[in-house]
Amino acid sequence: MTEEPGEQDRGDGVESAAPRRRAAPTIYDIAHLAGVNPSSVSRALNQPGRMSAKTESRIHDAARRLNYRVNPMARALPTGRTNMIGLVIADITNPVVFSIVRGAERAAAERDYTLVLAESEESSDRELKVAERLLQSVDGLILATSRLDDSAVTRLAEAKPLVVVNRVVDNVPGVVADVSRGITEAVDLLALFGHRSVAYLSGPERSWISHARWRSIKERCDWSRMEVTALPTASPTVEGGRGAAAAVRSSGCTAVIAYNDLIAIGLMRELGMAGLQIPRDLSVVGFDDIFGSDFTVPPLTTIQMPLQRQGARAVELILDALKEDSAPRQSESGDLLTHLVVRGSVGPPRSRSAPH
């Protein structure tokens, strides 16, 4: 309380041994140094050109000299804008989300937004809680691998701009990749090799995207006059893939398209341990092209999703919604195409190895 109360003991509450923190400079410090009113500082910093060049540069100099950074919390209060975007994912160790996170982080950072991350650990209860908590601190929310039902998503979307990834919810913008191209390529390749019977190792029953993939696969297989059946898996993981091996073998199919790469990898490993050879005994196609899918033997042929671009696009949609209030852009898959990455896990079926 020597001179400027509140300047003296700011920083951290207790004042004993802890390393002394230097308090961050404020616009008041700048105003003092530049000899102007704090509000002028705010103006100079936020609306360049609305002030005499001389004063403006004096203020900027002072700010630079003090190494000033705006306090995002203080700014957020009156404006309601935090410059943060929330990203909720089910499981951060799922390689599928890495790319989404990266794409989102990059797109956000580029526009000076900060990404806030939260994990729902595959629980829809936790997801709701986490999303509600995040919602308070961010300008918009991305649900990357949501386990919520549509109504909950819709309700969340009422509070702040919200975008879902790889999912379609009425009236909520979504970023969905167009799987048809990749699937067409995959099915066509199998057909070319002479496969006549294919199985789809499906994902979680409640997964919108798993059904979308199945529909697309079914359609293309029908078109190619191939038999196709869906086989369930216990979980969309390596373990789930392992567990499905028996069903695959007894199904009599000669090729498999898996809901994701983890399942595909699990299946290959299990069959490999049982002495089968891939692709001689079974052709396997994965989905996503995750990190490590080329480490396997043989390397996995897989349908690559534009996950990083999807993450970036999700951020862009949020920012769009924030900027103007044009009608919320609906799920558009324009440039979000998938394509087949051909590696070693697809070949001719055992019986007839000649094409066609």
Partner DNA sequence: CCAAGCTTGTCAATCGGTTGCCAATAGCGA
Partner DNA sequence: TCGCTATTGGCAACCGATTGACAAGCTTGG
Number of CB atoms found within 10 A of residue 226's CB: 18
Q: Is 119 in the site for its own copies (CB under 8 A)?
A: yes
Residues 135-164 that bind its own copies (CB under 8 A): 135-137, 157-160
Q: How far is the CB of 39 from DNA (least distance, A)?
A: 3
Give the footprint of its own copies on residues 218-257 (CB under 8 A). none
By CB under 8 A, name the one of 28, 77, 123, 227 that touches its own copies. 77
| The residue type at 282 | L
Q: Which stretch binds DNA (CB under 7 A): 32-40, 113-121, 261-269, 287-295?
A: 32-40
43 binds, among DNA, its own copies, none (CB under 5 to 8 A by kind): DNA
Applying CB under 7 A, does 291 fall inside the site for DNA? no
Look at residue 158 and give the partner it binds from its own copies, DNA, none, a contact being a CB closer than 5 to 8 Å depending on partner kind: its own copies
115 binds, among DNA, its own copies, none (CB under 5 to 8 A by kind): its own copies
Give the strands of the sheet with 301-304, arranged side by side.
227-231, 197-201, 255-258, 283-288, 301-304, 339-341
According to CB under 7 A, which one of 19, 21, 22, 52 is a site residue for DNA?
52
Minimum CB distance to DNA, residue 139 (Å): 14
* 8 is a contact residue toward its own copies (CB under 8 A): no
Nearest-angstrom CA–CA distance, 189 and 284:
11
Give the start-end residues of each E strand in 66-134: 84-89, 114-119
**Residue 23 within binding range of DNA, rule CB under 7 A:** yes
Assess contact for 169 and 150: CB atoms under 8 A: yes
Cα separation values, 97 from 43, 216, 260, 306, Å = 40, 23, 12, 12
For DNA, the closer of residues 40 and 99 by Cβ is 40
Question: How is residue 276 written in tokens?
Answer: 């089968």
Q: Which is nearer to its own copies, 72 or 232 (CB)?
A: 72
Count of residues that interact with its own copies, criterion CB under 8 A = 63
CB 148 within 8 A of CB 97: no
Specify burial of residue 205 (Cβ count, 10 A radius: 0-12, 13-18, 19+): exposed
Residue 95 near its own copies by CB under 8 A: yes
* E strand segments, the chain: 84-89, 114-119, 140-143, 162-165, 174-175, 197-201, 227-231, 255-258, 283-288, 301-304, 339-341
Closest CB to its own copies among residues 88, 209: 88
Q: Is 276 in the site for its own copies (CB under 8 A)?
A: no
Q: Give yes or no for a contact between 96 and 290, defined as CB atoms under 8 angstroms apart.
A: yes
Other Cβ atoms within 10 Å of 95 Cβ, number? 18
Q: How far apart are CA 44 and CA 247, in angstroms?
A: 69
Q: Which amino acid is at 24?
A: A
Q: How far apart are CA 69 and CA 129, in angstroms?
A: 32
Residues contributing to the site for DNA (CB under 7 A) = 5-7, 10, 23-24, 26-28, 36-40, 42-43, 45-46, 50-52, 54-56, 68, 70-71, 74-75, 77-79
Residues that bind its own copies (CB under 8 A): 10, 12, 14, 16-22, 24, 69-74, 76-77, 80, 82, 84, 92-93, 95, 98-99, 101-102, 105-106, 109, 114-119, 130, 132-137, 157-160, 171, 265, 269, 291-292, 295-297, 321, 324-328
